[in-house]
C-alpha cells in the first residue's frame, strides 16, 4: 500500500487544476518514468544496508536516485514505450535485491506516522508551488520523490533492523505496478476526458491492479497476469 499513489495522486490533481490537463498529462508521463529512479533508490538502499546504518544507506540511495533522475530526464520515449520499460524493470528488480533474513520480529511502532504525513504534505506544496518554473516533466519526476520510502524505510531500519527494511523495499515493488498503471491511464485520459472522470479511471484501474497483485501474492506472477 505504501507504493499506491497517495502522494503523487494529489500532486498531479493539483497540477491539473492549476496548470491545466495538458500540463498534468505530461507530468504524469514524467512520474511514470520516475518509477525507474525509485527502483534505483530502493536497490541502492538495500545493498547499502548490508554494510551501513540508516543514515549511510539513505545518503547513498538518495545520491543514486539523483543520478537516475538526471539521466532519465534526457529520455523522452513515447508513453507506451515508457510503460513497457517500467513493467520490465518491475519484473526484474526483485531479483536484484540482496537476500537478508529477519533475525527478530519487527517492532510495532507508529513513531514515524507524523513525519510521513508532514513529508507528504511538504512534497505536495513544494512541487505544486514550483511547477511553473520546473515544467511538466520535471514536476512529474519530483511528484515521485521517495517520500514514503525515505521515511517509512528509515524508521523501519532503525526500529526493526536492515533485513526488515530491505524486505519492505522489495515488497513495495509489487505496489509500483498499480502506480505505473495509474500514471499511464491518467496521461491518456486527461487528454480526452473531463478531469474528474480521468482521475476516477486512473485510480480505479490502479486499485484493480493493486488488488490483483495482492491476490497473486508475488511480483513474479504479476507481470504475466498484466500481459493477459
- For the packed helices 162-189 and 195-216, what is the interaxial angle rounded to 10 degrees? 140
Helix axes 21-48, 136-143, angle to 10 degrees: 40
Residue 196's CB is within 10 A of a number of other CB atoms, namely 9
Tell whether the model's pLDDT for residue 124 goes beyond 60. Answer: no
- State the Cα–Cα distance between residues 3 and 171, nearest whole angstrom: 9
**pLDDT exceeds 70 at position 116:** no
The 10 Å Cβ neighbour count of residue 173 is 25
Does pLDDT of 224 surpass 80?
Answer: no
In the chain, where the domains are located: 8-99+110-227
The grid cell for 105 is 520480529
Nearest to 209 by CA among 48, 59, 3: 3
**What is the average pLDDT value for the chain, to the nearest integer?**
81
* pLDDT of 225 strictly over 70: no
What's the pTM? 0.81
Grid cell 505544486 — which residue? 128
Nearest to 178 by CA among 144, 151, 202: 202
Which residues, other chains included, contact 82 with Cβ-Cβ below 8 Å and sequence gap of 6+? 29, 32, 33, 184
Q: What is the pLDDT of residue 87?
A: 94
Q: How far apart are CA 65 and CA 40, in angstroms?
A: 6
Burial class, 171, CB count within 10 angstroms (exposed 0-12 / middle 13-18 / buried 19+): middle
What integer pLDDT is reported at residue 222 of this predicted model?
A: 41
Q: What is the pLDDT of residues 162-175, one digit of tens each?
A: 888 888 888 888 88
Whole-number pLDDT of residue 219: 42
pLDDT (tens digit per residue) in 181-211: 999 999 999 999 999 999 999 999 998 988 8
pLDDT on residue 175: 82
> What average pLDDT score do residues 61-85 get?
90
* pLDDT interval class at 226 (50, 70, 90): very low
Confidence of residue 156 (pLDDT cuts 50, 70, 90): confident
Amino acid at each position: 500500500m505504501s507504493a499506491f499513489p497517495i502522494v503523487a495522486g494529489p500532486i498531479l490533481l493539483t497540477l491539473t487544476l492549476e496548470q491545466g490537463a495538458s500540463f498534468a498529462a505530461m507530468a504524469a508521463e514524467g512520474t511514470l518514468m520516475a518509477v525507474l529512479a525509485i527502483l534505483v533508490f530502493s536497490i541502492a538502499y538495500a545493498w547499502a544496508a548490508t554494510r551501513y546504518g540508516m543514515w549511510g544507506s539513505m545518503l547513498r540511495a538518495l545520491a543514486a536516485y539523483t543520478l537516475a533522475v538526471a539521466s532519465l530526464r534526457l529520455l523522452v520515449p513515447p508513453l507506451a514505450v515508457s510503460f513497457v520499460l517500467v513493467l520490465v524493470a518491475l519484473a526484474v528488480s526483485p531479483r536484484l535485491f540482496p537476500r537478508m533474513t529477519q533475525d527478530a520480529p519487527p517492532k510495532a511502532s507508529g513513531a514515524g506516522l507524523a513525519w510521513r504525513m508532514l513529508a507528504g504534505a511538504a512534497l505536495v506544496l513544494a512541487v505544486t508551488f514550483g511547477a511553473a518554473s520546473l515544467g511538466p516533466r520535471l514536476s512529474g519526476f519530483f511528484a515521485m520523490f521517495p517520500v514514503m520510502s525515505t521515511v517509512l524505510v528509515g524508521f523501519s531500519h532503525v526500529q526493526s533492523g536492515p533485513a526488515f527494511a530491505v524486505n519492505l523495499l522489495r515488497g513495495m515493488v509489487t505496489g509500483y505496478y498499480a502506480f505505473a498503471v495509474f500514471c499511464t491511464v491518467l496521461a491518456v485520459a486527461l487528454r480526452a476526458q473531463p478531469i474528474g472522470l480521468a482521475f476516477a479511471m486512473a485510480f480505479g484501474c490502479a486499485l484493480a491492479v493493486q488488488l490483483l497483485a495482492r491476490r497473486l501474492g508475488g511480483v513474479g506472477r504479476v507481470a504475466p497476469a498484466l500481459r493477459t
